[in-house]
Amino acid sequence: MGRRSAVIRPGPRRAVVLRPGPPRNGRRGVDAAAAVVGVLLLAASVVLVYELPEEDVIVPQYRVAFTTYEGEDFPTQRIEEPIGPGGFIDITYGIPQNNVFAVGVTVEYQDDEPSTLPDEFELELVAPNGTVIGLPRVLVTADPERTDPGEIVINQTDPFLSPLRSANLQFDVVARPTDVVVDAAARNETLEEAQDRLLPQHTVETNGAWILRVTLREAGGCPAPGSDPDDAFRAAYCLQEADRRGGVEDPGNGIAITKLTYSYYGVEVLSLDT
């Protein structure tokens, strides 16, 4: 029997690839965990967007500035005709400005019948809207003085004289404002819009007819005779003059408003960003 020879040939090669990590059947769990982490990170970023403070926004600012002005003086008003006891007279002054915060009045007064007891005036200032400014001011004439302190003669002409008095009265209408800084109503508010908004807030309507009301609260009558010779003479002379007037001891009194002035303020709105 003959010898048989066998030839061994290599078969096809098979490649084996080694990969790190868990076996293939655990991959699905890893993907699920990664998805959960991604969702959490997304949620955290959304929270940060709402929780972090917004960028600072610069809001425009304006200065409301006030400047004092003095109004022109009004001419002297003399009330020559006596105001009767309990009577009053209104003196009207036309003031064209708004924002009047003070009115000054200078008054001169004396007793027209100096042998009588002193007279008492009351002055009130009434704004155009009818508001009485402050409290009434009371003025009292001075006690008389002897013009000739020598011999007492009952028929002597003008033996007494009431000294002239003067008073400067101040009526405070409103408090004068001071400068103030305010924010704009919006980021895009213009200076003109700010002026339209702020100027009316700081304007007081005061233009119009102001009334100075002068009332003679009391006209003093004749004094009672005293033990002093001058006092007795004064009482006797006062009654003598009253008889000449038909028994009227004091018919009333005049007064002079020598000056009326006023102060007002102007308003400006200025930008602080220029």
Q: What is the pLDDT of residue 158?
A: 75
Measured between alpha carbons, how far is 48 from 111 in angstroms, rounded to an integer?
A: 87
CB 170, CB 102: distance < 8 Å: yes
Q: Which pLDDT belongs to residue 59?
A: 85
- For the chain, which residues make up each domain, given as ranges? 64-177+204-271
CA separation for the pair 237, 230 (Å, rounded): 10
Q: Is it true that domain 64-177+204-271 has CATH number 2.60.120.380?
A: yes
The token duo for 134 is 């402050």
- pLDDT at site 66: 97
Give the per-residue pLDDT at 160.
87
pLDDT means over runs of 10, the chain (274 residues) = 46 47 53 58 54 64 96 91 94 97 97 94 97 96 83 66 95 96 93 95 96 96 88 91 92 95 97 80
Q: How far is CA 34 from CA 25, 38, 192, 241, 271, in A?
A: 16, 6, 59, 121, 57
State the Cα–Cα distance between residues 182 and 271, nearest whole angstrom. 10
